[in-house]
Structures are given as C-alpha cells and as structure tokens.
C-alpha cells in the first residue's frame, strides 16, 4: 500500500497517520488484504477487486446484513464464534473510495490464526464445525435478501460455457498446452445433469461459497474454531457446494497449486473429521437426502475449480492472481488430479458421510 493511501485511510479512521503501520495479510487470489496497526489498535484493510466484484456497495450491504443477524444470535448466546464486522469511517461510511479504488476496513480478530493446509484431522473438525455453525445460524435468515454478488458463481453449466468461449479465443500455444486437461474436463459435463437432478428438490440455504480452509480463523493457542471470515460471496445456494469446497481445501496435504500430483489425494482421517465437525451443528436441521447430496459437492468443486483455472489460463490470466506464467494451468491440473482421486474414493467417502 502506498503512503498516500495509508495516510488517507488513517485520516478517515481518525488515526494519527504517523503512527500507522501496514503489512500484507493472507494469500487470497482476488482481493488485496493488509493489517493496519496504529498505537495498539489493529484493523484489516481490503482493496476490493472490482473486476470480480462489480458492485462493491451490494457486497458490503450483504456482509452487513449477515453481521447483524449473527450479532443478534451472539448476544442471545446462540452463536459461539467471533464475527468480522465492517468498521465505519468517522463520517459513517463503510465503503471507502480513494482514486477510484474501493477499500473497506474490518475488525481484526486478535489471537487468531488461519492455515492454508490442514495439519491435523482435529483442525479439519474445528473448521468444519465453524462453517456448519455459521450455516446453522443463518438457517432463519432470508437468503433472498442477499444480492447475487457474482451471478451464476457456482453454476457448473455456465463455467463450461465460459470454458468454451475461452477455447474459441485462446492462443494456439496455450490451447496445445492444455489439450489433455481441456479434453478431460469437457468429458465430465455429465455432472451438470446429475447436479440438476440432485438439487431439484433440495432447499436453498445461505451459502458461504468460499469455504476454503484459510477463510476460518482458529484460536492461535488451542486451535479451537474462532471465526468464519471472507463473507464476500455469501449467497443463496445449496449446501453441497460449501461442503465440496471444504473437502477440496481441507483434505489434501498439498497446496491447490502443487505440481506434485502423485500426492494430490484425499486424506481419509481428515475427511472423516470434516464430516464429524460439519454435521455436529447441522445434522438435526437437514434431511438424509440433503446429507447424501453433499458428496456430489465434493466431486463438483474440484472439477469446477479446474474448469475455472483452465478458463483463466486460456484467457491469459485475467481473473485469479498468479505468480508465474503457468500458474493457472498448474492449478487446473492439480484440481483435476484431486477430482480423479475423489472419483476413485467415492465408496468409502459415502459411507463416512452417512454413518
Ligand atoms: P481474501 O479475499 O484475500 O481471501 P480474506 O478476507 O480471506 O481475504 O483475508 C485474508 C487472510 O487475512 C485470512 O486468511 C486471514 O489469515 C487474515 N484475516 C482476514 N480477516 C481477518 C480478521 N478480521 N482478523 C484476523 N485475520 C484476518
Ligand atoms: C478465490 O479470494 P479467495 O482466494 O478466497 C475465488 C474462489 C476460489 C478460490 C480458489 C470471488 O477465493 O471462488 O474457490 O479463489 N473467489 C472468487 O482458491 O472468485
Ligand atoms: Mg480468503
């Protein structure tokens, strides 16, 4: 963050700019996040990616509706986690526009930590418990009051359409490089029909829609669940997507962009712990059918991410942040390896989910 922005933010937050210090936070692919410290006070500052989030005001509005709902439950002692809230400027604004860029400030949850890879099954249990608790607390929230911040975000048919458009405009060089991955992905389109059949009579819930492991904060000493964060994509949808994104990001010991594909496999003990943690708050609220549908999410999410990373590679990397030329292709290959591994483990995963 440059000094001029830092000073302007300090001024808007009624802080002495000379005491402000800023450092980068997290490893998200879309927004840019900083920790802002000032005389013992700590804030999270995020610059919103308006290429991805075209309507930042609606995004902040959604998050605030959820904050208010969770805060009421917290006060009634029915929501046991911390809540990330938007902090207003001294003029009462929750969205800050500086040089045509959009920023927002959140309360920093102290004595917390996130992890990019689950180290132990009990961490997966805690994280899944937090996401399940978050969903449970929002069961009586009107999902239709949430603006769809990214239309068709988890619409697999639309993700295939975007892939086809990218194939039509990609360079020959990238097309050749991706041929095997493209062919494999395209051959999985039968999942679109399966999804339509399975979800036909499932209830719509408030979904977090980015239940990546690093969107959960643990207590730094005990590894107990502390807070669900990154509420930008909360929208109406089916629980199977949230479950699937947890499986995708909790269960493999390799990072999402690892090229060590032989190690991109599901860890049974982590999956089992995830199921235990997620169902603890939710089991009594969902039907057997909805519970069984979750496994489809575990197949759909790695495939959908593979399609999305591949599409972005063919589009010359306009969506996800990348650190090197083939980053998106490597991510697409990694997610496809995970998808294939899940296909070959479906039987025990179903048993573990339904036991
Ligand atoms: P991104 O959109 O980049 O994924 P996140 O909101 O997930 O942004 O934040 C990135 C990282 O910053 C998180 O993984 C977490 O480690 C840390 N973080 C974010 N918000 C908070 C918060 N309110 N309190 C403490 N740490 C936070
Ligand atoms: C992005 O911002 P981040 O890193 O939490 C993406 C998710 C993907 C994820 C893959 C708005 O999430 O959908 O699953 O990368 N967010 C958006 O790591 O597209
Ligand atoms: Mg995040």
Query: Tens digits of per-residue pLDDT, 146-175?
Result: 999 999 999 999 999 999 999 999 999 999
Q: Which fold has domain 121-354?
A: Aminoglycoside 3'-phosphotransferase; Chain: A, domain 2 (3.90.1200)
**CA torsion 122→238→51→247, rounded to 10°?**
30
pLDDT, tens digit, 9 for 90 and up, residues 30-71: 999 999 999 999 999 999 999 999 999 999 999 999 999 999
Closest-CA residue, ligand 2 atom 5, reads: 28
Radius of gyration of the chain (CA): 20
ipTM of the complex: 0.97
- Give the per-residue SS3 of the chain: CCHHHHHHHHHHCCCCHHHEEEEECCCCCCCEEEEEEECCEEEEEEECCCCCCCCHHHHHHHHHHHHHHHHHHHHCCCCCCECCCEECCCCCCCCEEECCEEEEEEECCCCEECCCCCCCHHHHHHHHHHHHHHHHHCCCCCHHHCCCCCCCCCCHHHHHHHHHHHHHHCCHHHHHHHHHHHHHHHCCCHHHHHHHHHHCCCCCEEECCCCCHHHEEEECCCCCEEEECCHHHCEEECHHHHHHHHHHHHCCCCCCCCCCHHHCCCCHHHHHHHHHHHHHHHHHHCCHHHHHHHHHHHHHHHHHHHHHHHHHHHCCCCCCCCCCCCHHHHHHHHHHHHHHHHHCCHHHHHHHHHC
Ligand 1 pocket by C-beta < 6 Å: which residues?
25-26, 28, 30-31, 33, 44, 84, 106-109, 112, 114, 214-215, 217, 229-230
What are the structure tokens assigned to 72, written together?
A: 């009421």
Q: How many CA atoms lie within 13 A of 327 on its CB side?
A: 13
pLDDT of residue 201: 94
Domain spans in the chain, listed from the N-terminal domain onward:
3-108, 121-354
Residues within 5 Å of ion ligand 3, judged at the Cβ atom: 28, 215, 230
Cα 153 to Cα 319: distance, rounded to the nearest angstrom = 13
Distance between terminal CA atoms of the chain? 50
Q: Do 102 and 50 meet the contact criterion of CB atoms below 8 Å apart?
A: yes
Question: Nearest-CA neighbor of 232 among 61, 36, 1, 23?
Answer: 61
Which residues have C-beta within 8 Å of that of residue 190, sequence separation ≥ 6?
none
pLDDT of residue 26: 85
Say how many residues make up the chain.
355
Q: Which of 47, 49, 149, 212 to mutate to test the pocket of ligand 2 (most atoms within 8 A of CB)?
A: 212
Of ligand 1's listed atoms, the one at least distance from the Cα of 29 is 3
Q: Do 241 and 95 meet the contact criterion of CB atoms below 8 Å apart?
A: no
**CA torsion 140→144→149→155, rounded to 10°?**
100
What are the structure tokens assigned to 88, written together?
A: 């207003």
Cα 340 to Cα 330: distance, rounded to the nearest angstrom = 15
pLDDT of residue 59: 96
Q: Any idea which ligand is nearest the CA of 216?
A: 1
pLDDT of residue 27: 83
What are the structure tokens assigned to 181, written together?
A: 């991955």
* CATH number of the domain located at residue range(s) 3-108 in this protein: 3.30.200.20
Low-confidence ranges of the chain (pLDDT < 70): none
For the entire predicted model, the pTM comes to 0.96
């Amino acid at each position: 963050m440059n000094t001029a922005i830092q000073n302007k933010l300090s001024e808007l937050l009624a802080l002495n700019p000379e005491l402000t210090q800023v450092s980068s936070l997290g490893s998200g692919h879309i927004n840019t996040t900083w920790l802002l410290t000032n005389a013992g006070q700590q804030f999270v500052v995020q610059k919103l990616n308006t290429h991805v989030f075209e309507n930042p005001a609606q995004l902040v509005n959604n998050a605030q509706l959820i904050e208010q709902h969770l805060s009421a439950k917290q006060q009634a002692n029915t929501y046991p986690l911390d809540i990330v809230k938007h902090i207003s400027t001294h003029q009462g604004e929750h969205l800050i526009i500086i040089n045509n860029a959009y920023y927002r400030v959140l309360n920093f949850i102290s004595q917390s930590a996130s992890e990019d890879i689950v180290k132990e099954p009990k961490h997966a249990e805690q994280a899944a418990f937090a996401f399940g608790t978050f969903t449970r607390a929002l069961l009586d929230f009107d999902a239709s009051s949430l603006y769809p911040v990214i239309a068709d975000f988890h619409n697999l048919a639309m993700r295939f359409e975007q892939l086809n458009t990218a194939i039509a405009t990609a360079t020959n060089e990238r097309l050749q490089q991706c041929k095997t991955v493209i062919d494999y992905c395209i051959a999985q389109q039968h999942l679109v029909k399966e999804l339509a059949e399975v979800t036909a009579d499932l209830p719509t819930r408030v979904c977090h829609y980015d239940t990546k492991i690093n969107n959960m904060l643990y207590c730094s000493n005990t590894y107990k669940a502390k807070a669900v964060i990154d509420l930008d994509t909360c929208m109406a949808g089916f629980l199977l997507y949230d479950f699937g994104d947890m499986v995708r990001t909790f269960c493999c010991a390799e990072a999402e962009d690892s090229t060590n594909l032989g190690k991109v496999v599901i860890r049974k003990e982590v999956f089992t712990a995830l199921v235990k943690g997620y169902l603890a708050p939710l089991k009594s609220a969902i039907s057997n059918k909805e519970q069984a549908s979750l496994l489809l999410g575990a197949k759909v999410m790695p495939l959908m991410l593979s399609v999305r990373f591949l599409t972005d590679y063919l589009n010359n990397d306009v969506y996800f942040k990348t650190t090197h030329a083939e980053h998106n292709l490597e991510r697409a290959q990694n997610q496809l390896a995970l998808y294939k591994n899940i296909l070959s483990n479906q039987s025990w995963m179903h048993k573990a989910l339904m036991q």
